[in-house]
Amino acid sequence: MGTMSIPETNGIFATHYLLKERLSSNRVEEVWKAEDWSAEGAPVTLRLYAPHIRLDHQSLDLLQKEQEQRAQLRHPHLLLPSRFGIHQGIPFEVAPLQSQQTLAQSAPLPEREVARLIAQVGSALEYLHTQRPALAHRQVNPANIVLDANGNYLLAVPALSSQLRTLLHRATGTPLAQGTAYAAPELFGTHPKHTGASDVFALGVSLYELCTGETPWLGNGGLSLSQGAEIPIIPTPYSRILSNLVRACLHLDAEKRPTAKVLAEEANYFLEHGNWKPYGAFGDVTAESIVYKKSSSLWPVLLVLLILSALGAAAYYYYINRTPDQELASETEETKRNPIIPTATDSVVADTAQSVTKPDTPVKKQATSRKPSVATQQKTQPVSKPVPARPAKPSYPQPSSLEGYLSGMLNHDIPLQVRDQWRTPIRKYFSPDAIIYARMNDAPLGSFGVGEFIDILLSTEAGNSIVIDKIIYDPEDENAIDEINVSIVAVE
């Protein structure tokens, strides 16, 4: 077996590589399973670019430059080639062939595995997106996500940039097929630009596929979304929060998609705690509502107020129930301390003032410590003071429409116990399995059952209002709402 110019099975390529099996082939590239004789026959993957034509020097220089840039990348969850070279005008790269498998046929994955994938692939994307300049992966899909022998998820680095891929297709005379299943909506616009947000969209499509076994929008990707298609929901047994996370990745607006860093943080929280965050951008309640709940849990202050209230109640009880002798002794002691100026509000002094005529000449003031007469004692007998009537509780008119109820739920001028009593009348507007799709401040909040959404409204902080965007009624009951879209917005 000698050196060959055209790759063939059992042929030797570039002196060191015995070609064993062609894995894929087209005019732009061929992928071979080979043995590396320089490494004692270790199995490798050999990728050959445009093997049946000879590229010009400009194309070779551009390819060489790109491979040098890729060789500088280092991340534990990036799958990078171990060698790049050019043999007889054919560019090639070598990567170790381990007991790896792509995820193209792995759906459905358990939710914990989905979280591991998000954490590891998300960290790899974050690494690429934070390079200077930022690097977009451009080809995130299950076929480029590899599970290695240790059970870790690796993201295969794309072999070619879009510029070089276009150049190779032109050189080989083959049309450039654009995969639409994982393409973000902005790539179908008048000024398409692939960014980190486009990678997040492709990851969202991949996650949906790995959970359901199907690509959303029948494989038409962001093109369908830009034409008004709805963002699909991941069904049970997957959690609602995971569905919210994936749907956020598929947002029509690139700026409103989560970053790869946020996705990795959310997934790491799941791996650490065994569940997704119940609050935040994807949780069942918002971060604002959690902050509000925390600010209201001032238990030390409440404890002090409770003690002071108990002491005040005890003092009031003692005052209205003390005996005549106790009251008289108190008055006498007060008079001894202030012999000239009597207490103006004392009932005994008031009665005495009514029964004695003011003399023309000064009269020596009699001692007030004399023993009081029976009549005086009867007059000083304390009378139970009437308890002041409690002010009537303000009445709050019950809303007459669903929008009125939902707006009232956010009105903190209405006591919580009153708003909580509106659960039953609100439920009457909905079918038993109704779903509420909610947004908050132009960001997706999630999809919820009626009870869950009522809890969110009751725990949302003050200063928000709600708008009903869309209502779909139950086909079997035209008076029952089956789906509803609402937006919670901050009041300026």
Average the pLDDT over each of 13-22, 42-51, 167-176 and give the range with the smallest value. 167-176
Query: Is the pLDDT at 71 greater than 90, yes or no?
Result: no
pLDDT at 19: 92
Section 409-429 average pLDDT: 91
Beta strands 29-36; 17-25: pairing state? antiparallel
Cα–Cα distance, 49 to 59 (Å, whole number): 11
Section 216-227 average pLDDT: 92
User: Could you say which of 3.40.190.10, 3.40.50.1000, 3.30.200.20, 3.30.530.20 is the CATH number of the domain covering 1-97?
Assistant: 3.30.200.20
Asked if residues 244 and 444 have their Cβ atoms less than 8 Å apart, the reply is yes
Q: What is the pTM of this model?
A: 0.56
Q: 442 versus 326: which is more confidently predicted?
A: 442
pLDDT at 231: 93
Section 418-437 average pLDDT: 92
pLDDT at 324: 53
pLDDT at 431: 92
Q: Give the pLDDT band of residue 406 (cuts 50, 70, 90).
A: very high
Cα–Cα distance, 490 to 470 (Å, whole number): 19
Q: What phi and psi values does residue 225 have, to the nearest 5 degrees?
A: -65, -40
Cα–Cα distance, 300 to 107 (Å, whole number): 52
Section 372-387 average pLDDT: 52
Average the pLDDT over each of 36-45, 78-87, 106-115 and give the range with the smallest value. 78-87
Query: Is the pLDDT at 76 greater than 50, yes or no?
Result: yes
Residue 127's identity, in one-letter code, is Y
pLDDT at 139: 86
Query: Is the pLDDT at 474 greater than 80, yes or no?
Result: yes
Section 165-178 average pLDDT: 63
pLDDT at 451: 87
Average the pLDDT over each of 107-121, 194-208, 388-402 and give the range with the smallest value. 388-402
Query: Is the pLDDT at 270 greater than 50, yes or no?
Result: yes
List strands edge to edge, sheet with 101-102: 78-79, 153-156, 145-147, 101-102
Section 112-119 average pLDDT: 96
Cα–Cα distance, 153 to 142 (Å, whole number): 11
pLDDT at 239: 92
3-state SS, one letter per residue, for the chain: CCECCCCCCCCEECCCEEEEEEEEECCCEEEEEEEEHHHCCEEEEEEEECCCCCCCHHHHHHHHHHHHHHHCCCCCCEECCCEEEEECCEEEEEEECCCCEECCCCCCCCHHHHHHHHHHHHHHHHHHHCCCCCCCCCCCCHHHEEECCCCCEEEECCCCCHHHHHHHHHHHCCCCCCCCCCCCHHHHCCCCCCCHHHHHHHHHHHHHHHHHCCCHHHHCHHHHHHCCCCCCCCCCCCCHHHHHHHHHHCCCCHHHCCCHHHHHHHHHHHHHHCCCCCCCCCCCCCHHHHHHHHHHCCHHHHHHHHHHHHHHHHHHHHHHHCCHHHHHHHHHHHHHHCCCCCCCCCHHHHHHHHHCCCCCCCCCCCCCCCCCCHHHHHHCCCCCCCCCCCCCCCCCCCCCCHHHHHHHHCCCCCCHHHHHCCHHHHHCCEEEEEEEEEEECCEEEEEECHHHHHHHHHHCCCCEEEEEEEEEEECCEEEEEEEEEEEEEECC
Query: Is the pLDDT at 463 greater than 50, yes or no?
Result: yes
Q: Which two tokens stand for residue 245?
A: 């996370």
User: Is the previous residue joined to 108 through a cis bond, with omega within 30 degrees of 0?
Assistant: yes
pLDDT at 302: 60
Q: 229 versus 90: which is more confidently predicted?
A: 229
Section 409-422 average pLDDT: 89
Q: Which residues contact 122 (CB under 8 A, 6 or more apart)?
A: 203, 260, 261, 263, 264, 267
Q: What is the dihedral of CA 405, 256, 258, 124, to 10 degrees?
A: 170
Residues composing the chain = 492
Q: 481 versus 70: which is more confidently predicted?
A: 481
Q: Which residues contact 482 (CB under 8 A, 6 or more apart)?
A: 430, 431, 433, 434, 435, 472, 473, 474, 475
Cα–Cα distance, 415 to 435 (Å, whole number): 27
pLDDT at 373: 52
Asked if residues 158 and 303 have their Cβ atoms less than 8 Å apart, the reply is no
Beta strands 430-440; 477-490: pairing state? parallel
pLDDT at 357: 45
pLDDT over 70 percentage in the chain: 72
Q: 268 versus 369: which is more confidently predicted?
A: 268
Start-to-end Cα distance in the chain: 79
Query: Is the pLDDT at 120 greater than 90, yes or no?
Result: yes
Average the pLDDT over each of 180-184, 236-240, 286-290, 438-442 and give the range with the smallest value. 286-290
Query: Is the pLDDT at 66 greater than 80, yes or no?
Result: no
Q: Which residues contact 351 (CB under 8 A, 6 or more apart)?
A: 376, 379
- pLDDT, tens digit, for every residue of 306-361? 787 778 777 766 666 655 555 545 555 555 555 555 444 444 434 444 444 444 44
Domain ranges of the chain: 1-97, 99-282, 291-296+397-490
Taking the CB of residue 285, how many other CB atoms lie within 10 A of it? 23
Asked if residues 90 and 50 have their Cβ atoms less than 8 Å apart, the reply is yes
pLDDT over 90 percentage in the chain: 34
Spatial CA neighbour of 146 closest among 65, 45, 63, 223: 45
Q: Please name the residue that has the structure tokens 């409440």.
A: 302
Query: Is the pLDDT at 220 greater than 80, yes or no?
Result: yes
What is the average pLDDT score of the chain?
A: 78
pLDDT at 301: 58
Section 397-401 average pLDDT: 90
pLDDT at 119: 97
Spatial CA neighbour of 339 closest among 363, 359, 365, 320: 365
Ramachandran category for residue 40: left, alpha or beta (phi over 0 → left; psi -120 to 50 → alpha): left
Average the pLDDT over each of 47-56, 89-98, 277-286 and give the range with the smallest value. 277-286
Q: Which class in CATH covers the domain with range 99-282?
A: mainly alpha
Cα–Cα distance, 159 to 276 (Å, whole number): 34
Cα–Cα distance, 469 to 245 (Å, whole number): 22
Question: Under CATH, what is the fold of the domain 291-296+397-490?
Answer: Nuclear Transport Factor 2; Chain: A, (3.10.450)
Q: What is the dihedral of CA 352, 336, 345, 363, to 10 degrees?
A: 40
